[in-house]
């Protein structure tokens, strides 16, 4: 598909990136002010459309005839860039609506980020935009840049127009945009589209990501987010973008990882950040590569933009320095790359081309005195090897190292292969000449070999993800109507234990045989029926913590013991909590001791229903060794959740213990995901613990709590 | 004696280089008259000088229209005992 063909297929957001005419509202003639800089940037960046300044009582701005209002412009206006103070922006937007403007970039600050009054203003502006069908970027943003020669629009107050490239950058922070533009300029990195979307009152990061998925100018999408509002929407969009034909990688920085960072992000954007641990798990589940730093963002982006996708994880390393070669090997293996053995032919070629002291195994050490001929022969040999999927060239500057010639030979080797290549010319001033040659040839260069490995593993991860089939959710056989009937009969808040067990039973969980008894005789009779030691648990809508009121009696053997325990329990509760309404008590068999796990579900404000898995006790409380997933949970995801905890080996028979019923745990996770997806009233659900048995004995729910919305 | 509105329009016209006859009470200083942020600060200073009063700058800068400015200035004049013609 040619670029021009793609542009002919109109998209609702085209008016943001490809407007035929732009009016800047609120321009002033004073240089080095935001309105003036924006107007000058559009004027001088090579914009291919028509530009109008709207500046009351000014004859012209930079010799371009000015208009008092946008309504005074005699021609059609596709896009309005608004830089008025926030208290009058609604007037400008109203006029834009009357004029038939298609998109608005609202640079102005003073909206949601400053408090309730600003939020009200923002809502007002958005309502006008929605009513008039105008797409809104911002407010409180830096603006939009499109380097496509068809448009060449720099509707921002960035200092410079970036170079053209195939990376798109979306940022919630305008200030970060200017830093990134400067950073990229220094690294020779270009952009296809560059958007600061600020408060995202109208167009969101999700809309922009979907647009960029179809943008023929963009290969890689980078996103900086401070605040996730529609986590599920982001996940759905990312799953579509990162898989299948035309898949593109999404690399994302989501700030607010720490509690302090979340607070800063909240005060910055005017809203709370999502729970980071859930974000982490869910973004990964959507095929998004989450990174922590700008360096890593671009390290991986240039690898994916400049280099072909790797066929596998096998990495060959060619180095003139043993130490960095070993460090790179360690880093590669730790990150998940493989260091393969070379085949016999490669080994022969290396042996004949390198001195006897060289290491001809992977990592190949061409030794400190190597010049370009050794690098060339070694690189060519390893790239020709079928056991190698990608290569990393490491160089340290020795006195005889001909850096320029080695860089040239790497470029020549790169031209002869379809395998990805990365370089690390370690050092600073001396190696710069080589780095320049590599960068000009679009061979990714990293100051540290570890950075190169990290970029390579991200590229591998994305490639594996995009080619993997999308897991399909297959519903399990459950009685949703029965569960709903139980919940319909319950008020908001924590459900009674018998109701919780009824719900779980309807969804096929392994619950023990139980009965809600209403008298001592009833309880004694059921205990006889069970023919095993039983537990008695009081049921009352007023008692949450049963043990505190001696509302639990354990290991009762025989009907007399049950009767005695019943009477003691009810007498004690009547004394300590006379107002408690007693429904009765649950009688069930004692559950044999076993390994404890916790299964949880929570309706997250950002991501909707989510499911959690962890081993019980210390593993959850101290080590926070838990995994999360979006509900509903596929069979594949359930398996990866269970295997994702650090303590997984405890379930597989570590130190001579019997192997647990892992399949049963996975099935419980799927049932739990289905339950919280089917019933939006469930706010929280904890099965704590689920007692894990062997594959023969199975698992058993020992305790459960469900909190319902009103 | 000129009214508060006449004097506000005159000062505004002088500061923004606009014919006072084109200025109306409902006009916004920024949206309709094109005042830049630095000119808004200058306007506050010029009003203080014109009326012999002192205004809280944040409050004064939050005034949006010419009519609101007249009301704001009249109120400050009354608080500070400065006689003005309100008609």
pLDDT per residue as tens digits for the range A295-313 = 999 999 999 999 999 999 9
Distance from the Cα of residue A506 to its chain's centroid: 34
Measured over all CA atoms, what is the biggest interatomic distance in chain B, rounded to whole angstroms?
32
Name the pLDDT band for A202 (thresholds 50, 70, 90): very high
A85 touches chain B (CB under 8 A): yes
Report the relative pairing of strands A220-225 and A250-254 from DSSP bridges: parallel
Out of B18, B34, B64, whose CB is closest to A55?
B34
B58 touches chain A (CB under 8 A): no
**E strands, A135-249, in order:** 135-137, 143-146, 153-156, 164-171, 191-196, 220-225
- B31 and A58 within 8 Å at the Cβ level: the answer is no
Mean pLDDT over each residue of chain A, to the nearest integer: 92
Out of A30, A33, A91, whose CB is closest to B28?
A91
Domains of chain A: 3-303 (3.40.50.261), 308-467 (3.40.50.261), 513-589 (3.30.1490.20), 595-708 (3.30.470.20)
What value does the mean pLDDT take over residues A480-489? 97
pLDDT at A657 exceeding the cut of 80: no
The residue among A535, A592, A589, A524 whose CA lies nearest residue A560 is A524
pLDDT at A569 exceeding the cut of 90: yes
Name the pLDDT band for A646 (thresholds 50, 70, 90): confident
The residue among A91, A183, A79, A202 whose CA lies nearest residue A140 is A202
Nearest CA in chain A to B65: A88
Distance from the Cα of residue A617 to its chain's centroid: 29
Name the pLDDT band for A698 (thresholds 50, 70, 90): confident
| Cβ-based contacts under 8 A for chains A and B | 34
pLDDT at A460 exceeding the cut of 50: yes
B25 touches chain A (CB under 8 A): no
Nearest CA in chain A to B17: A57
Provide, as residue numbers in chain B, all residues whose Cβ is less than 8 Å from the Cβ of A84.
30-31
Provide, as residue numbers in chain B, all residues whose Cβ is less than 8 Å from the Cβ of A30.
36, 38
Provide, as residue numbers in chain A, all residues whose Cβ is less than 8 Å from the Cβ of B34.
28, 55-58, 68
- A84 and B18 within 8 Å at the Cβ level: the answer is no
pLDDT at A148 exceeding the cut of 50: yes
A473: left (phi over 0), alpha (psi -120 to 50) or beta: beta
Q: A437 in helix, strand or coil?
A: helix
Cα angle vertex A28, ends A25, A31, to 5°? 130
- Position A159 scores a pLDDT of 85
pLDDT at A5 exceeding the cut of 80: no
| pLDDT top residue among A276 and A589 | A589
In whole angstroms, what is the distance from residue A365 CA to residue A372 CA? Answer: 13
- Position A244 scores a pLDDT of 87
| pLDDT top residue among A158 and A1 | A158
A118 touches chain B (CB under 8 A): no
pLDDT per residue as tens digits for the range A236-269 = 999 999 998 899 999 999 887 665 555 554 433 3
pLDDT at A7 exceeding the cut of 80: no
A33 touches chain B (CB under 8 A): yes
pLDDT per residue as tens digits for the range A159-168 = 889 999 999 9
Angstrom CA distances, B10 to A215, A591, B42, B63, B64, stand at 54, 90, 14, 17, 17
What value does the mean pLDDT take over residues A395-420? 96
Choosing among 1.10.1200.10, 3.30.457.10, 1.10.486.10, 3.40.640.10, the CATH entry for B4-79 is 1.10.1200.10
Q: Is the peptide bond before A139 cis (omega within 30 degrees of 0)?
A: yes
pLDDT at A377 exceeding the cut of 50: yes
pLDDT at A658 exceeding the cut of 80: no
The rounded radius of gyration (Å) of the Cα atoms in chain A is: 32
- Position A651 scores a pLDDT of 87
A91 touches chain B (CB under 8 A): yes
Nearest CA in chain B to A53: B34
The rounded radius of gyration (Å) of the Cα atoms in chain B is: 12
- Position A366 scores a pLDDT of 97
Provide, as residue numbers in chain B, all residues whose Cβ is less than 8 Å from the Cβ of A92.
31
A87 touches chain B (CB under 8 A): yes
What value does the mean pLDDT take over residues A215-220? 97
Window from A178-182, A270-274, A277-281, A663-667 with minimum mean pLDDT: A270-274
* Tokens representing residue A478 in the block: 């459950």
A67 touches chain B (CB under 8 A): no
In whole angstroms, what is the distance from residue A18 CA to residue A13 CA? Answer: 9
- Position A258 scores a pLDDT of 61
The residue among A493, A553, A499 whose CA lies nearest residue A527 is A553
- Position A25 scores a pLDDT of 97
A58 touches chain B (CB under 8 A): yes
In whole angstroms, what is the distance from residue A44 CA to residue B81 CA? Answer: 54
Tell me which residues of chain B have a pLDDT lower than 50. none
| CA distance between the termini of chain B | 10
ipTM surpassing 0.90 = no
Q: Where are the domains of chain B?
A: 4-79
Residues of chain A above pLDDT 70, percent: 95
Nearest CA in chain A to B37: A85
pLDDT per residue as tens digits for the range A22-59 = 999 999 999 999 999 999 999 999 999 999 999 999 99
Q: A474 in helix, strand or coil?
A: coil
What value does the mean pLDDT take over residues A515-522? 95
A84 touches chain B (CB under 8 A): yes
- Position A273 scores a pLDDT of 30
In whole angstroms, what is the distance from residue A444 CA to residue A487 CA? Answer: 57
pLDDT per residue as tens digits for the range A490-501 = 999 999 999 999
Residue carrying structure tokens 């063909």: A5
The residue among A509, A504, A508, A503 whose CA lies nearest residue A490 is A503
A31 touches chain B (CB under 8 A): no
- Position A267 scores a pLDDT of 39
* Tokens representing residue A100 in the block: 């038939």
- B31 and A56 within 8 Å at the Cβ level: the answer is yes
pLDDT at A152 exceeding the cut of 70: yes
In whole angstroms, what is the distance from residue A90 CA to residue A109 CA? Answer: 13
pLDDT at A77 exceeding the cut of 80: yes
Smallest CA–CA distance, residue B49 to chain A, in Å, is 24
pLDDT at A271 exceeding the cut of 60: no
Provide, as residue numbers in chain A, all residues whose Cβ is less than 8 Å from the Cβ of B38.
30
pLDDT at A568 exceeding the cut of 90: yes
Name the pLDDT band for A544 (thresholds 50, 70, 90): confident
pLDDT at A322 exceeding the cut of 80: yes
pLDDT at A423 exceeding the cut of 70: yes
B24 touches chain A (CB under 8 A): no
B17 touches chain A (CB under 8 A): yes
**DSSP letter string, A620-659:** HHTT--EEEEESS--HHHHHHHHHHSGGGGGGGTGGGPPP
| pLDDT top residue among A228 and A257 | A228
- B31 and A33 within 8 Å at the Cβ level: the answer is no
DSSP label of A176: H
Nearest CA in chain B to A92: B31
CB under 8 A, 24+ apart: contacts of A68-74: A68/B32, A68/B34, A69/A95, A70/A23, A70/A25, A70/A95, A70/A96, A70/A99, A70/A101, A71/A95, A71/A98, A71/A99, A73/A23, A73/A99
């Amino acid at each position: 598909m040619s670029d021009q063909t793609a542009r002919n297929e109109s998209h609702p957001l085209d008016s943001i990136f490809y407007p035929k005419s732009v009016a800047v509202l609120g321009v002033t003639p004073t240089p080095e002010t935001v309105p003036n800089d924006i107007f000058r940037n559009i004027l001088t960046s090579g914009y291919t459309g028509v530009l109008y300044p709207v500046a009351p009582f000014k004859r012209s701005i930079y010799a371009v005839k000015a208009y008092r209002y946008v309504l005074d412009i005699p021609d059609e206006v596709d896009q309005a860039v608004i830089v008025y103070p926030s208290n009058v922006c609604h007037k400008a937007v109203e006029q834009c609506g009357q004029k038939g403007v298609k998109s608005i970039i609202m640079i102005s600050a003073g909206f949601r980020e400053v408090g309730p009054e600003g939020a009200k203003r923002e809502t007002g502006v958005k309502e006008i935009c929605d009513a008039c069908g105008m797409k809104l970027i911002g407010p409180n943003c830096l603006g939009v840049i499109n380097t496509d020669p068809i448009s060449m629009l720099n509707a921002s107050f960035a200092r410079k127009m970036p170079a053209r490239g195939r990376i798109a950058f979306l940022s919630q922070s305008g200030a970060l945009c200017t830093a990134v533009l400067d950073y990229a300029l220094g690294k020779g990195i270009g952009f296809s589209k560059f958007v600061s979307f600020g408060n995202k009152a109208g167009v969101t990061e999700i809309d922009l990501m979907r647009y960029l998925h179809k943008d023929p100018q963009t290969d890689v999408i980078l996103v900086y987010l401070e605040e996730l509002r529609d986590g599920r929407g982001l996940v759905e969009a990312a799953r579509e973008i990162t898989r299948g034909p035309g898949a593109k990688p999404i690399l994302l920085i989501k700030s607010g990882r720490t509690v302090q960072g979340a607070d800063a992000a909240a005060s910055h954007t005017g809203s709370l950040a999502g729970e980071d641990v859930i974000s982490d798990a869910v973004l990964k589940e959507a095929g998004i590569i989450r990174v922590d730093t700008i360096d890593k963002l671009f390290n991986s982006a240039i690898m994916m933009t400049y280099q072909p996708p790797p066929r596998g994880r096998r990495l060959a390393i060619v180095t003139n320095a043993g130490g960095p070669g070993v460090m790179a090997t360690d880093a590669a293996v730790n990150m998940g790359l493989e260091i393969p053995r070379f085949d016999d032919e490669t080994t022969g070629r290396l042996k004949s081309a390198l001195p006897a002291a060289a290491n001809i195994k992977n990592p190949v050490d061409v030794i400190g005195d190597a010049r370009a001929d050794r690098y060339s022969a070694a690189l060519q040999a390893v790239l020709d090897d079928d056991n190698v999927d990608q290569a990393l060239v490491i160089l340290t500057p020795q006195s005889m190292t001909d850096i320029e010639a080695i860089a040239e030979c790497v470029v020549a080797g790169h031209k002869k292969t379809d395998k990805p290549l990365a370089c690390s010319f370690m050092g600073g001033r001396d190696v710069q000449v080589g780095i320049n040659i590599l960068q000009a040839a679009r061979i990714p260069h990293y100051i540290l070999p570890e950075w190169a490995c990290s970029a390579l593993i991200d590229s591998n991860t994305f490639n594996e993800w995009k080619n993997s089939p999308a897991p399909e959710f297959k519903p399990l056989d459950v009685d949703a109507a029965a569960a709903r009937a139980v919940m319909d009969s319950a008020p908001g808040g924590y459900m009674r234990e018998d109701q919780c067990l009824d719900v779980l039973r309807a969804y096929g969980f392994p619950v023990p045989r139980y009965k809600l008894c209403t008298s001592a005789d009833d309880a004694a009779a059921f205990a006889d029926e069970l023919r095993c030691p039983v537990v008695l648990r009081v049921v009352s809508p007023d008692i949450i913590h049963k043990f505190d009121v001696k509302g639990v009696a354990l290991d009762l053997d025989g009907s007399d013991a049950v009767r005695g325990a019943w009477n003691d329990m009810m007498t004690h509760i009547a004394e300590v909590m006379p107002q408690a309404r007693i429904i009765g008590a649950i009688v069930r068999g004692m559950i044999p001791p076993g390994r404890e796990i916790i299964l949880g579900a929570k309706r997250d404000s950002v991501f909707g229903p989510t499911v959690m898995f962890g081993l019980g006790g210390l593993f959850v409380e101290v080590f926070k060794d838990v995994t999360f997933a979006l509900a509903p949970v596929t069979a594949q995801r359930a398996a990866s959740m269970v295997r994702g905890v650090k303590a997984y080996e405890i379930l597989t028979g570590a130190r001579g213990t019997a192997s647990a019923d892992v399949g049963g745990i996975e099935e419980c996770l799927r049932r739990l995901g289905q339950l919280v997806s089917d019933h939006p009233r469930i706010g929280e659900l904890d099965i704590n613990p689920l007692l894990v048995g062997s594959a023969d004995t199975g698992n058993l729910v020992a305790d459960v709590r469900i909190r319902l919305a009103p | 004696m000129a009214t508060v509105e006449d004097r506000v329009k005159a000062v505004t016209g002088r500061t923004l280089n606009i014919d006072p006859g084109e200025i109306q009470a409902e006009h916004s200083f920024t949206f309709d008259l094109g005042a830049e942020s630095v000119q808004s600060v200058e306007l506050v200073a010029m009003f203080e000088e014109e009326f012999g009063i002192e205004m809280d700058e944040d409050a004064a800068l939050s005034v949006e229209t010419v009519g609101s400015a007249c009301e704001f200035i009249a109120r400050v004049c009354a608080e500070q005992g400065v006689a003005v013609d309100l008609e």
